[in-house]
Amino acid sequence: MFMWIADNIENLTDYDYIVIDTHNDSSLVTSNFIAAADLVLGISEPSRNGYRAWLELQNTIENLKNEVVDIITRKSYIQAEAYLIGNKIEHIGNTSKEFLETIVEDERFLGYLPKKELLAKSLLLDKDIFEQQENMSGSEKTRNKQFFKSIEDLFNKIENTI
């Protein structure tokens, strides 16, 4: 992937970002995408396995940084930095509360996405949440105002981190 991007960089100048969604694993394919990345977003749900996947992602990137190096200069080819986003955080419930208290302490924490029917509905309707927002009534827009503000703030934080 790294070589393909390098070979095709002229064809990619129209794009601000390339977003690649991978599995949470350390396979050769995922490692190749990490090698080509500047930033990796670890999305973690409020569970032990979700947070464990975040820790494993950090270890995978560190291992790649140590292993994928120029043989003469010993400089790593891996430039990716990992950042954490909480996902499906409920405003009620001890599990989400404890999870959020843990992840906000992480220096790489960028924010979180609340558990929201609107997100689940987007998959069902095959429309993103912003398309749904356009079709909302005034009262629905008012009811979801804070949600969209949170999403906008998180996207801005991701963009500023890049």
Alpha-carbon 9 to chain mean position = 23
Structural domains of the chain, ranges and CATH numbers in brackets: 2-115 (3.40.50.300), 117-162 (no CATH)
- Whether residue 47 has pLDDT greater than 70: yes
Assign 159 to helix, strand or coil. helix
The CA distance from 77 to 3, in Å, is 12
pLDDT digits (tens, 9 = 90+) for 74-107: 999 999 999 999 988 887 667 778 888 888 888 9
Whether residue 53 has pLDDT greater than 80? yes
Residue 7, pLDDT > 90, answer yes
* Averaged pLDDT, 16-22: 87
Q: How far apart are CA 71 and CA 69, in angstroms?
A: 6
User: Which pTM does this prediction carry?
Assistant: 0.82
Packed helices 94-103 and 48-67: angle between N→C axes, nearest 10 degrees: 20
Share of the chain above pLDDT 70, in %: 99
